[in-house]
Structure 1
Amino acid sequence: MLNLTINGKNITVEEGTTILQAAKDNGIYIPTLCYDDAVKVYGACGLCVVEAEGIPKLLRSCSAKCSEGMVVNTESKRVVQSRKIAMELLMSAHDGDCVAPCQLNCPARTDCQGYVGLIANGEYEAALKLIKNKVSLPASIGRVCPHPCETACRRGKVDEAINIAQLKAFAADMDLNSDSYLPEKNAPTGKKIAIIGGGPAGLTAAYRLAVSGHEVTVYDMMEKMGGMLRYGIPQYRLPKEVLDKEIAIIEKLGVKMINGVKLGKDFTIASLKAQNDAVIVAVGAWKSSSMRTPGEELDRIYGGIDFLRAVALKQEINIGDKVVICGGGNTAMDACRTAVRLGAKEVYCVYRRTRNEMPAEDIEITEAEEEGVQFKFLTNPISFNGKDGNVNSVTLQLMELGEPDASGRRRPVAIEGKTEELDVDSVIVAIGQKLVNEDVSELKLTDRGNIEADIDTFKTNIEGVFAIGDATNRGASIAIEAIGEANRCALSIDAYLNGEDIETRVPYISRRDEELIDFQSKEKCPARKPQVFPAAERKNNFDEVCLGYTEEDAKAEASRCLECGCKEYYKCKLLSVAQRYDIHPERFKGEMPQKYTADSNEFIERNSAKCILCGLCVRSCKEVMNISAIGLLGRGFKTEVAPAFNLPLDQTKCTNCGLCVELCPTGALTEKSALKKQIPLKEEYSKETVTIDGKQAEVLVSRYDGKIIRVIPNDEVSRNSALSREELKSLIK
């Protein structure tokens, strides 16, 4: 037996034990991607290096043997630097997406690819559960979200983007029409949290924190919960019956909801903090932005969200026959289409740029046009003119587009001396919204008049008080942005209540270079559009415009997904190691070898572009299975793992045992569903008692066709085994 020290821990091992095994047997992690008990040591990845006192060079722990009195450091500055370089070199030639672009572009990081795939397979309940990991109001959000996920969808570069938002609504509607899913709650923590504001941010935080086992109370100034989803989105886009059902689910989790109480009047932040362990301020932005245009103080000039709120509350509002809406966003479109439904005969949308620059969704603009809204592009109000205190006309400045501004859109420039007069009965100014400052006088505000909150932890200037949503930092944004903040804030509060810090470092992920992707070879398959009522039928009432997907159409639309994200994401060893270090593979970026292969068989999918040449598949096929169906072809950067002569796997001796798939650390080899059904892999080990030379040990083994193909070095089973590791490996036949 030998005595040595690893990371300050004194340990005793058998002579001949490698440093890697000694560390592993004593709970000390050393990363490696090319090592496995089933095959001979290869030392290809260079990640398992360690530093030993008195030895000038770094040692590869997978092959270096322990010696008496050795002092090893597995995380020294030199070791970490070496591993970072090794990872950067590996990742610089690894061409794959860890996560699909749609998910990366979703502010809530919803697993779009995951739930779209589940819908395609008819697994609607599983899809709903996956969605609710991030979005607690999916039926509502699926109807109103401007879906930045679809902007990033690569299917759009083939034909049309996947209708991800409508698929979310489809899965959620299936759930609402059955026994609605309730997540399992953690045990009660005894902690109390108050949330001010029952909009999408506040409700999401309440859902997440209730699931974590906390006691949550939501306070809201309005008659009902929902915030802008209820009072800022028209009924024809989001039926409030749907919103009510989703809020009821959150209430079933034990969240207490108190309506009709206002911050600054019925309670203060300080008073809530005195009664709770934490407070979240999610008050939203309920004040319409001003255009600062002469005459804006005239009667019958309404703010965009003020107008929509009045309609939602069924308050009488006189807009007359001729209405002008100023603005080009979704709120402006909501105001235009609502004015049509209220009976206005002429509805004009005034926007200072062109349609191409409008921030509103294209479908909203198109449907507004179909309903009779007239667009006056390249015009900007320079005065609102009145008679007897009421607005009766608008003077419009004619514009042209100049150079791009900070937003990337071309700046509108006034054409000297060119104006237009437009007679009106009312004006709706829908150019934005902001926080009512006096509501949050206890908190520190930014120069823009919003609550100042840490962008990572959401902490404010008051201990134990957090702020999220439209009221903070950059101001009003889309609902899914507020939901993303609420999810992260819930994690931050959990950490705060436990006296812990949260990880703020953004973990590394691999992304493909879009310019190198061959979209031309993809088969075109136009999108399935959900049914929408004709304009003539819909514009006279507030019934929901979009009827959503039928089950058949939903599955067909979901099946168009290109599945850009890696299927092995959650168990990828390469990514796990890459995320341990702050790596920058772009330092070694060169011409990326295009090695994507299409010769997969019925059971195994090969993607050589993700391969890091660890050799585990080649060695296991040769040393364990004695088949050699695959090998290393080529030299240098062009080396790849492939069958001899690049034949399809079906034309080799491959038995589809799945061992190569199991050992692959990168997702270069993945199993198809047929393989999962026929071959027991990773999680399907059996516990057996084996005897060698009179010594018995309980081990985990995996068999194929009666043969032991894998002995699992499971710490719980084999750490104290009477058999050495070499003896355990000899069981493989």
Structure 2
Amino acid sequence: MSVTSKDVKKTEGKTWRRFKDGESEADWRDRQEIIFQAGWTHKCPEYMLSTPPCQGSCPAGEDIRSYLNIVRGIEKPPVGADGKPTMSWQEFAWRRLTEANPFPAVMGRVCPAPCESGCNRNQVEENVGINSVEHFLGNWALENKLAFNKPAKETGKKVAIIGGGPAGLAAAYQLRLKGHACTIFDDHAELGGMMRYGIPGFRTPREVLDGEIQRILDLGVETKLNCRVGKDISMEQIEKDFDAVIMGLGAQAGRALPVEGADAPNCVTAMSFLRAFNEGRLQHVGDKVVVIGGGDTSIDVATVARRLGKVTNISEKDLPENVLAGHVAHDVATIAARQGVDVVLISRATIDKMAANKHEIEQAQSEGIEIVGGVTPVAVIKGADGRATALRVADFEMVGKDMKIKEGTERDIPATLIVSAIGQAVDFTGLESYNNNNGLIKTDKNYRFPGKENVFIAGDVIRPHLLTTAIGHARICVDGIDAYLAGEELDRRPKVDVAHWDMVRRWVETGHEYNEHHGQEWGTSAKKDLLHNFEDRSSRYVIPSTELFLGHFAHTPRNKRNVIHLDKDSALGNFQDRLGQLSEKEVVDEAKRCMSCGLCFECDNCVIYCPQTAVFKVKKKDNPTTGRYVDTDYTKCIGCHICADVCPTGYIVMGMGD
């Protein structure tokens, strides 16, 4: 008896359904027979490297698929003359990861992981835990005191980096790898920028941050701290002393609330709040804290306030706004037992549409932080002493691009401290001529400042975004500077601008000789010094799930990190790292869930299902390598395209021939 589609559970959106609605299994079998009986076509298999969507979604451009394949054991570390691996798989994976991002231990904790949202595994059950693998590798490198390899030679060129945050430090790292000398100028006492002064220490443990920064400095990076360009040294002098400049100023000034009464002394910005906390000056807050925002920064402020709590009988000098203004610092020795505070987070977006990481929103709610979505601030209510006593909010609706307050919905939320987390701004004092975009800097596509071929821009000063975005900017800037210093014209950046896995490099690493062959030439399949029937389209193409054979992948539960969940009481005074680390076995198992989109992962499907035995494994004596695990004998191939149909990763494409 044939099974019709009505007997089969519907799985809309899945490409691995064996037949469509309205068809029977017999219909599907008929098409299968047609394939097996096919004589020939004009197309034969070609091995086509594409960018996976995880990597295409990573602002830093990490070669994610590559280091996951190393962790799972598909790509092996290179071997030395003695035939033994030159390093462990952990080190090999870490070195591949850090080609794009020198902060895996930090980003493995705080990055909201857009790579995981882009992961094709979401079409099967749940994304690969990429962030948790990065976390493990970053920690392993710190524990084993791994260092970056110093450049083989120095170019003699000097580059100034303005700003020692994620963009500036990542730029210093990339510049040193290319042999350029560099000096970081920063107006803080310590390096790190938003990683140190913007993100709470219980999310970026200071020993982790310091360890990853020191590894960069050990490459030979010079620093000038407590030095503001435009005040302590002029930009003109910088350009005179250095061959090129990278401006990674960051956006560490907060935006005040644009409502009446927001000039109250206890109505402050998120940036000043977090900086005072991270510098150790702010040790407690008032009775009721109201935070306005909706992004990750607002969540950070709310959770910090919950942990700090309040103390009784404080003097006027100990009011939070006085500490935030830099007048005094709370004396830890005199602080009595902490008590809990009420924290309310206000957002124009509804809770399900807030920009903050969903996991962090849930954590904040579990800690007793009240989140009120879908309302907007309309005024700050002041008391007789001029201090804020409440935030007035109201419901609203959008009429075109204009916001309209719904009359009669206004209500007051009591507050002894109001924190605005509605955005960040750049302080251009002394560098006003670079402010060409209403408080930001507009650049060309190579992140070069218009009219100044020696000045490049990176990070939040272009557009406040993720830490990983700033790191990605730095890599692109350094590519541009490297070309500029060599006297070359800057090439147009690739459409998919990430750190691609390099098949040719891996080919050479495994002992092959490689030579370029251009144009059509008969008999190239027999040559051992080139990669035939292979094309790298990764700089222009991100492979979607529709080009994979998803039916190959069994449902495999994700290995999730242990997260310490706190409640309203246990959060008070708790400044410990909440995020646990996967074990080595869990990390390997999680990497094995990667579908290696766009690159062979040695499943043998094409070899098993080829009816002509045209597809074959490359013999060990011929030194097979990742991406060249199989090959095709075109004297046998009839173009039936079964190999492409059963390739789970979409690596085989029927592209050879007319």
TM-score between the two structures when normalised by the length of structure 2 = 0.71
State the shift of 1:565 in Å: 2.5
Q: Which amino acid aligns with 1:398?
A: D
Q: Which amino acid aligns with 1:640?
A: H
Q: Which amino acid aligns with 2:51?
A: V
For 1:80-138, what per-residue CA distance to the aligned partner results, in whole angstroms no more than 9, with x for missing partners? xxxxxxxxxx89x9897601100011112111111122223382111100111000111
Q: Which amino acid aligns with 1:109?
A: G
Give the whole-Å Cα distance in 2 for the aligned partners of 1:447 and 1:457.
14
Q: Greater shift after overlay, 371-380 or 453-462?
A: 453-462
Go from structure 1 to structure 2 and tell me whether the alpha carbon gap of 1:567 and 1:95 turns closer, same or farther (over 3 Å shift). closer
State the shift of 1:517 in Å: 5.0
Go from structure 1 to structure 2 and tell me whether the alpha carbon gap of 1:342 and 1:331 turns closer, same or farther (over 3 Å shift). same
Query: Counterparts in 2 of 1:621-632, with a 5 A limit?
Result: 622=635, 630-632=636-638
Give the whole-Å Cα distance in 1 for the aligned partners of 2:156 and 2:48.
45
Query: Counterparts in 2 of 1:166-565, with a 5 A limit?
Result: 166-316=132-282, 319-343=285-309, 344-387=340-383, 388-399=385-396, 414-443=405-434, 445-472=435-462, 475-506=463-494, 509-515=540-546, 519=550, 522-536=553-567, 537-565=570-598
Aligned Cα root-mean-square deviation (Å): 3.2
State the shift of 1:641 in Å: 6.5
Task: Assess if the C-alpha contact under 8 Å between 1:397 and 1:415 holds in 2.
Answer: yes
Task: Assess if the C-alpha contact under 8 Å between 2:543 and 2:597 holds in 1.
Answer: no
State the shift of 1:147 in Å: 1.2
Please list every run of 5 or more consecutive structure 2 residues that lacks an aligned counterpart in the other structure.
1-40, 74-87, 310-339, 496-538, 619-630
State the shift of 1:160 in Å: 1.6
State the shift of 1:412 in Å: 7.0
Q: Larger Cα Rg: Structure 1 or Structure 2? A: 1
Residue 577 (structure 1) aligns with: none
Give the whole-Å Cα distance in 2 for the aligned partners of 1:534 and 1:505.
43
Q: Which amino acid aligns with 1:426?
A: L
Q: Which amino acid aligns with 1:501?
A: E
State the shift of 1:433 in Å: 0.0
State the shift of 1:249 in Å: 0.7
State the shift of 1:403 in Å: 8.1
Secondary structure at 2:429 match in 1: helix
Task: Assess if the C-alpha contact under 8 Å between 2:347 and 2:376 holds in 1.
Answer: yes
Give the whole-Å Cα distance in 1 for the aligned partners of 2:572 and 2:554.
38
Q: Greater shift after overlay, 497-506 or 536-545?
A: 536-545
Task: Assess if the C-alpha contact under 8 Å between 2:251 and 2:460 holds in 1.
Answer: yes
Task: Assess if the C-alpha contact under 8 Å between 2:70 and 2:93 holds in 1.
Answer: yes
Go from structure 1 to structure 2 and tell me whether the alpha carbon gap of 1:488 and 1:447 turns closer, same or farther (over 3 Å shift). closer
State the shift of 1:263 in Å: 1.7
For 1:586-615, what per-residue CA distance to the aligned partner results, in whole angstroms no more than 9, with x for missing partners? xxxxxxxxx98973799749xxxxxxxxxx
Residue 56 (structure 2) aligns with: 104
Give the whole-Å Cα distance in 2 for the aligned partners of 1:597 and 1:511.
26
Residue 632 (structure 2) aligns with: 617
Go from structure 1 to structure 2 and tell me whether the alpha carbon gap of 1:642 and 1:440 turns closer, same or farther (over 3 Å shift). closer
Q: Which amino acid aligns with 2:90?
A: Y
For 1:53-93, what per-residue CA distance to the aligned partner results, in whole angstroms no more than 9, with x for missing partners? xxxxxxxxxxxxxxxxxxxxxxxxxxxxxxxxxxxxx89x9
Secondary structure at 1:531 match in 2: coil
State the shift of 1:282 in Å: 0.9
Go from structure 1 to structure 2 and tell me whether the alpha carbon gap of 1:520 and 1:376 turns closer, same or farther (over 3 Å shift). farther
TM-score between the two structures when normalised by the length of structure 1 = 0.64
Go from structure 1 to structure 2 and tell me whether the alpha carbon gap of 1:234 and 1:215 turns closer, same or farther (over 3 Å shift). same
Residue 582 (structure 1) aligns with: none
Task: Assess if the C-alpha contact under 8 Å between 1:193 and 1:214 holds in 2.
Answer: yes
Give the whole-Å Cα distance in 2 for the aligned partners of 1:502 and 1:557.
40
Task: Assess if the C-alpha contact under 8 Å between 2:543 and 2:598 holds in 1.
Answer: no
Query: Counterparts in 2 of 1:15-94, with a 5 A limit?
Result: none
Go from structure 1 to structure 2 and tell me whether the alpha carbon gap of 1:370 and 1:596 turns closer, same or farther (over 3 Å shift). farther
Q: Greater shift after overlay, 340-349 or 195-204?
A: 340-349
Please list every run of 5 or more consecutive structure 1 residues that lacks an aligned counterpart in the other structure.
1-43, 46-89, 406-410, 569-594, 606-615, 623-629, 634-638, 649-665, 670-733
Seq. identity, %: 30
For 1:529-583, what per-residue CA distance to the aligned partner results, in whole angstroms no more than 9, with x for missing partners? 1112231445531111112222122122222111113249xxxxxxxxxxxxxxx
Task: Assess if the C-alpha contact under 8 Å between 1:631 and 1:641 holds in 2.
Answer: no
Q: Which amino acid aligns with 2:414?
A: D
Residue 99 (structure 2) aligns with: 133
Using CA pairs under 8 Å that are at least 6 residues apart, name the structure with larger relative contact order, 1 or 2: 2
Task: Assess if the C-alpha contact under 8 Å between 2:548 and 2:597 holds in 1.
Answer: no
Q: Which amino acid aligns with 1:490?
A: V
State the shift of 1:416 in Å: 2.6
Residue 15 (structure 2) aligns with: none
Number of residue pairs matched by the alignment: 505
Q: Which amino acid aligns with 1:359?
A: A
Q: Which amino acid aligns with 2:556?
A: C
Give the whole-Å Cα distance in 1 for the aligned partners of 2:259 and 2:551.
51
Q: Which amino acid aligns with 1:115?
A: Y
Secondary structure at 1:308 match in 2: helix
Task: Assess if the C-alpha contact under 8 Å between 1:129 and 1:181 holds in 2.
Answer: no
Q: Which amino acid aligns with 2:189?
A: E
Q: Which amino acid aligns with 2:641?
A: E
Task: Assess if the C-alpha contact under 8 Å between 1:353 and 1:412 holds in 2.
Answer: no
Go from structure 1 to structure 2 and tell me whether the alpha carbon gap of 1:511 and 1:451 turns closer, same or farther (over 3 Å shift). closer
Give the whole-Å Cα distance in 1 for the aligned partners of 2:275 and 2:154.
38
Secondary structure at 1:469 match in 2: coil
Give the whole-Å Cα distance in 1 for the aligned partners of 2:448 and 2:549.
41
State the shift of 1:370 in Å: 1.0
